[in-house]
């Protein structure tokens, strides 16, 4: 038995915030729901086959042009990264590289909080690219905003090994905790492509580090709520830092949305007996006890600051073009374990943001602004995310679905159920969603709209706790180890519409193993299937690209990476392998330049041990599973951003 690595321990801890509501899981519904269009076409007889090979493969009428003509990358696992032939994949910036002027050179044996606060943080996740206004070529000069989700102290610090509740954080010191806090948050860097190669512009006036201590403003309906007040902030409107920022989004007005996910990990201690926040904290798994921060900083100790957790778990909006802009936690968008916040402008001009709450049996959300996006005046959009309607999805067995509004005073969201105002609804978004009857999903990660087709893709990464009697139409497999993707089609093509149709695009896993029940199209090769979809990107042609989290040599015979996914026509449901991360890593951040000539990806936690490999030793600073990207015996592995371009120019993946 090997010890759980950091990301696996984190996953195990997600249990703590499990959904205890009794929302129906539609146990009576047949496990395999056949494709709606097949039903309408009367082709149900082929359903049993289509469940295995994918309905669109069967429905093939005529061959269409191949949307992904690149040569597929063989799937496997080793210490390096790999990209499909004809492409270049180069490391742009690594943990410890300079971001701010005066940042010292990276020295893993002489880390300090001061150095880390000027250097690129750990575990890069979301990447957003913002073209530089006035640039000669907006696809070759811009800003990158990058999330730093969390820290792996066993890989970061010499001689430490895993630090958690089991080891009572025995090796942690104030200095190490402060380095961790400085390695969280995000970075803004200016990047430019010179002679075909991307580089970070040194000493840029836009360069910024945001950490777990950066002053931020709390805005929207929950700002000032007594439940957000602390000794340090008696008004409930100012907070220090953002934590566990996983994925996010970019807005049409040029801001970065960065999403706080597993915020429970950072809290320890006990609430005072009979405290009113007990139920609320339990629903989010607080305290999670995965970090030692509460030992050195009272605000992460529930006994000292019972309300501090309510100041985390939000979407944070940051203007990357103004390094002095105060980041704003937009409470109108709800409080839960946000994966991402990808948006699209609706036909009527309002902004629609889709959000997943990444926990087993939690929900898919949609936020619609009250105001329209002002395309002429950037400043006019400054606070439009403070007013709007948050809704949660119910997926019905007949392929229909409804967005259920979470509005104080409507339905069960009343004082009888403990909600005094909209602030209460937002602080306890999950409980509000439980009460309106949302559908419990298999860990919703990225949710992203395709501007070309109007469809919305929901990555459901896995849920090994779903039992056979909890299966429902939208979550059709018990013990869902490999996840699936749901496709939403909004009524009348309106992203603001209350209703939608939906179907399962693909059930993931190895199609060669019948018991897995995967539904990739029959055109998918042995390299083209994947498990555990996590993030996604839609390129300028409307093509869907998926990044994964949880594949490994032991689990799926392949590391994580990027797979192309056909969504339309006869090839629908075909996966194709494009990029492979080094062993132990997960793939994050997929983001294209506006012309698709560069694909930015983030390699997160390289060097972790493969938990499913019985021979794998626990990974440490001294003995990581890889020393990517430097392969220097004196350096630990380093999370890094990678640029992918097509050799000779042109659109990536063609």
Q: For residues 502 and 48, give the distance between their C-alpha atoms in angstroms, rounded to a whole number.
A: 19
Q: For residues 312 and 267, give the distance between their C-alpha atoms in angstroms, rounded to a whole number.
A: 11
Q: Smallest distance, Å, CB 307 to ligand FEO?
A: 24
Binding mask 317-346 for ligand FEO (x = CB under 6 A): ----------------------x-------
Cβ closest to Ca ion, residue 53 vs residue 447: 447
Under rule CB under 5 A, how many of the chain's residues touch Ca ion?
Answer: 4
Phi, psi at 482, each rounded to 5°: -115, -5
448 near ligand FEO, rule: CB under 6 A? no
Site for ligand FEO in 123-152 (CB under 6 A): 149
By CB under 5 A, name the one of 549, 566, 610, 611 that touches Ca ion. 549
Residue facing Ca ion at closest CB distance: 549
534 near Ca ion, rule: CB under 5 A? yes
Cβ closest to ligand FEO, residue 428 vs residue 445: 445
C-beta of residue 551 within 8 angstroms of C-beta of residue 559 = yes
72 near ligand FEO, rule: CB under 6 A? no
The dihedral through the CA atoms of 228, 231, 235, 239 has a sign that is: negative
Cβ closest to ligand FEO, residue 307 vs residue 355: 355
Binding mask 349-388 for ligand FEO (x = CB under 6 A): ---------x------------------------------
For β-strands 185-194 and 441-442, DSSP reports them as unpaired
The number of beta carbons lying within 10 Å of the beta carbon of residue 396 is 16
Cβ closest to Ca ion, residue 246 vs residue 346: 246
C-beta of residue 17 within 8 angstroms of C-beta of residue 265 = no
445 near ligand FEO, rule: CB under 6 A? yes
648: left (phi over 0), alpha (psi -120 to 50) or beta: left
Q: Smallest distance, Å, CB 258 to ligand FEO?
A: 12
**CB neighbour class for 42 (10 Å; exposed up to 12, middle 13-18, buried from 19):** exposed
Cβ closest to Ca ion, residue 534 vs residue 596: 534
Cβ closest to Ca ion, residue 146 vs residue 222: 146
Q: For residues 517 and 289, give the distance between their C-alpha atoms in angstroms, rounded to a whole number.
A: 36
For β-strands 499-507 and 400-405, DSSP reports them as antiparallel
Applying CB under 5 A, which part among 296-304, 507-515, 529-537, 595-603 lies near Ca ion? Answer: 529-537
Partner in contact with 357, chosen from Ca ion, ligand FEO, none, beta carbon below 5 to 8 Å by kind: none
Would you state the torsion angle of the CA atoms of residues 214, 217, 218, 224, taken in this order, to the nearest 10 degrees? 120
Site for ligand FEO in 244-283 (CB under 6 A): 246, 261
Instruction: Say which DSSP state 262 is in.
Output: -
Cβ closest to ligand FEO, residue 358 vs residue 566: 358
Phi, psi at 561, each rounded to 5°: 175, -155
* Residue in 523, 508, 513, 527 with CA at minimum distance from that of residue 57: 523
- Residues forming contacts to Ca ion in the complex (CB under 5 A) are 125, 246, 534, 549
List interacting residues with ligand FEO (CB under 6 A): 149, 246, 261, 339, 358, 445
């Amino acid at each position: 038995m090997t010890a759980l690595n950091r990301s696996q321990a984190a996953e195990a801890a997600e249990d703590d915030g499990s959904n205890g509501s009794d929302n129906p899981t539609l146990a009576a519904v047949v496990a395999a729901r056949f494709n709606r269009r097949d039903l309408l076409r009367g082709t149900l007889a082929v359903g049993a086959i289509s469940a295995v090979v994918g309905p669109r493969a069967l429905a093939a009428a005529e061959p269409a042009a191949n949307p992904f003509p690149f040569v597929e990358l063989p799937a496997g696992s080793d210490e390096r990264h790999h990209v499909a032939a004809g492409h270049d994949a180069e490391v742009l910036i690594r943990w410890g590289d300079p971001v701010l002027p005066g940042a010292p050179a990276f020295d893993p044996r002489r880390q300090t909080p001061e150095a880390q606060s000027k250097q690129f943080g750990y575990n890069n996740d979301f990447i957003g690219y913002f073209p530089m206004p006035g640039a000669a070529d907006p696809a070759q000069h811009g800003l990158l905003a990058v999330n730093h989700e969390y820290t792996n102290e066993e890989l970061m610090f010499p001689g430490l090994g895993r630090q958690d509740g089991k080891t009572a954080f025995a090796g942690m010191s104030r200095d190490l905790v402060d380095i961790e806090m400085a390695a969280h948050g995000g970075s803004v860097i200016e990047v430019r492509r010179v002679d075909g190669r991307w580089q970070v512009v040194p000493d840029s006036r836009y360069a910024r580090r945001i950490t777990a201590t950066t002053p931020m403003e709390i805005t929207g309906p929950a700002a000032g709520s007594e439940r957000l007040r602390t000794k340090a902030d008696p008004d409930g409107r100012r907070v220090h830092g953002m934590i566990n920022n996983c994925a996010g989004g970019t807005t049409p007005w040029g801001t970065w949305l960065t999403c706080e996910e597993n915020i429970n990990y950072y809290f320890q201690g006990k609430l005072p007996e009979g405290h009113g926040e007990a139920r609320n904290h339990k629903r989010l798994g607080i305290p999670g006890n995965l970090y030692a921060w509460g030992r050195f900083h009272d605000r992460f100790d529930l006994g000292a600051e019972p309300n501090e957790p309510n100041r985390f778990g939000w979407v944070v909006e940051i203007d990357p073009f103004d390094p002095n802009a105060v980041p704003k936690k937009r409470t109108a968008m709800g409080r839960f374990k946000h994966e991402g916040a990808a948006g699209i402008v609706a036909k009527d001009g309002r902004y629609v943001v889709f959000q997943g709450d990444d926990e087993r049996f939690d929900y898919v959300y949609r936020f619609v602004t009250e105001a329209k996006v002002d395309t002429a005046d950037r400043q006019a959009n400054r606070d439009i995310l403070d007013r709007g309607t948050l809704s949660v999805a119910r997926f019905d067995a007949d392929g229909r679905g409804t967005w259920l509004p979470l509005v104080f005073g409507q339905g069960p969201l009343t004082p009888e159920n403990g909600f005094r105002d909209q602030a209460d609804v937002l602080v306890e978004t999950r409980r509000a969603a439980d009460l309106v009857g949302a559908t419990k999903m298999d860990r919703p990660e990225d949710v992203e709209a395709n501007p070309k087709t109007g469809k919305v893709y929901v990555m459901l990464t896995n849920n090994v706790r779903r039992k056979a009697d909890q299966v429902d139409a939208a979550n059709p497999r018990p013990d869902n180890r490999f996840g699936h993707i749901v496709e939403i089609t909004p009524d009348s093509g309106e992203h603001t519409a209350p209703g939608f149709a939906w179907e399962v695009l693909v059930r993931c896993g190895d199609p060669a193993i019948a018991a897995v029940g995967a539904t990739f199209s029959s055109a998918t090769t042995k390299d083209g299937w994947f498990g555990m979809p996590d993030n996604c990107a839609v390129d300028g042609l409307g093509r869907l690209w998926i990044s994964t989290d949880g594949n490994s040599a032991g689990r799926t015979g392949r590391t994580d990476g990027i797979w192309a996914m056909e969504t339309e026509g006869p090839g629908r449901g075909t996966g194709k392998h494009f990029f492979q991360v080094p062993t132990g890593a997960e793939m994050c951040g997929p983001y294209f330049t506006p012309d698709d000539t560069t694909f930015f990806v983030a390699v997160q936690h390289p060097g972790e041990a493969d938990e499913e490999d019985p021979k794998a030793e626990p990974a440490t600073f001294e003995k990581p599973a890889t020393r990517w990207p430097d392969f220097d015996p004196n350096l630990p592995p380093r999370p890094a951003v990678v640029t992918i371009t097509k050799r000779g120019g042109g659109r990536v993946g063609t």
